[in-house]
Amino acid sequence: MKREFDINKLVRESVRELKPYSSARDEYVSDGSEMVFLDANENPFNNGVNRYPDPQQRNLKALLAEQRGVAMENLLLGNGSDEVLDLIFRAFCEPKTDNIITSPPTYGMYKVLAGVNDVKNKEVLLTSDFEPNVEGILKAVDQNTKLLFLCSPNNPTGNCFSEKRIKHLLDSFEGLVVVDEAYIDFSEAESWLAQLQNYPNLIVTQTLSKAYGLAGIRLGICCASPGIISVLNKIKPPYNVNELTQQRALRHVLNPKMVHEEVRSILKERNELTKELLQFNFVLKIYPTDANFVLVKVDDADKRYQQLLDKGIVVRNRSTQPLCENTLRLTVGTQEENKKLIEALRSLN
């Protein structure tokens, strides 16, 4: 619950002292009235994208904030969640000194970003039922542990983590807990956004790449206290979300009914697919999922992966991940695509 928390103690010294670049569009914020803009060396001939985009993406943020029941000051947008996650590393982790904790099997980017930022990644495996090992994680924490990554619903296992375990970690860990909610729109579980007020060390990341169907435009969302957001704002590239992305995202986010319909249809297809998968004797286990994919254990993942590939179907072989021996991760496609998958599986021997 609420406790003394000073974000400045976690920020890298160089970032704390940084005076951010001030762009032309940062200095003057249009109030909507007709102005003559001669401040940014742009080409004046209007083609829809001749002006620099709003560095604070105010229109889009206002809408996303309203839909999520948070304030605009709680939001930072990035070029996909991957940029958002990288900014978190660069703001809080001193290269060669600080470390982070991740819980494999999980999203591969945390480890890659740790490597890129020269930050040690301490891995504490999930338990056999794919829950965070709370005791193990807290044991791994030291003075230089800045970040803990929890992906819920988790990729590639598909499950949401227990609320009690996440709360325990938020209460006990003095660094920042990043809850990656890339798949939250497919889940019945409540978003951790509702807990932002209670946990000053909580960062929730979301994305328009999955349920919203906008992987191609690259739009990631970071939600946290205004203090954390202003640190990230200090170091983000001024124009990190381009104009086309802002326009397209705005149009899509204005149509929540369509997103909701698509999610409903994907979930219906997921349940059908799961039922169909039960018939194959080389499918040994279907893990419960809160996401738009299903992790299945098969008799021989390398063989089944190759067989599917030969039939023109690409799935993800997750066998190299710990606790995931002989597993394939199947993304739920359209009804037609899923039918093709089932037919292909039926023809295997």
C-alpha dist (Å) from residue 246 to 62, 136, 231, 251: 12, 41, 22, 9
- When the beta carbons of 134 and 182 are compared against ligand PLP, the nearer one is 182
Q: How far is the CB of 292 from ligand PLP (least distance, A)?
A: 10
Q: How far is the CB of 80 from ligand PLP (least distance, A)?
A: 3
Tokens of 195: 């807990």
- When the beta carbons of 182 and 249 are compared against ligand PLP, the nearer one is 182
Name which of 148, 183, 190 is nearest 329 in CA terms: 183
Name which of 258, 278, 270 is nearest 294 in CA terms: 270
Q: How far is the CB of 291 from ligand PLP (least distance, A)?
A: 8
Q: How far is the CB of 212 from ligand PLP (least distance, A)?
A: 10
Q: Dihedrals φ, ψ of 295, to 5°?
A: -95, 125
- When the beta carbons of 93 and 182 are compared against ligand PLP, the nearer one is 182
* List of residues contacting ligand PLP (CB under 6 A): 80-82, 107, 151, 155, 180, 182, 207, 209-210, 215, 220
Rounded to 5, what percent of the chain is helix, strand, coil?
A: 40, 15, 45
The residues, ordered by sequence, that sit 6+ positions from 236 with a Cβ below 8 Å of its Cβ are 76, 78, 87
Q: How far is the CB of 248 from ligand PLP (least distance, A)?
A: 14
With H, G, I as helix, E, B as strand and everything else as coil, classify residue 119.
coil
- When the beta carbons of 151 and 345 are compared against ligand PLP, the nearer one is 151
- When the beta carbons of 7 and 203 are compared against ligand PLP, the nearer one is 203
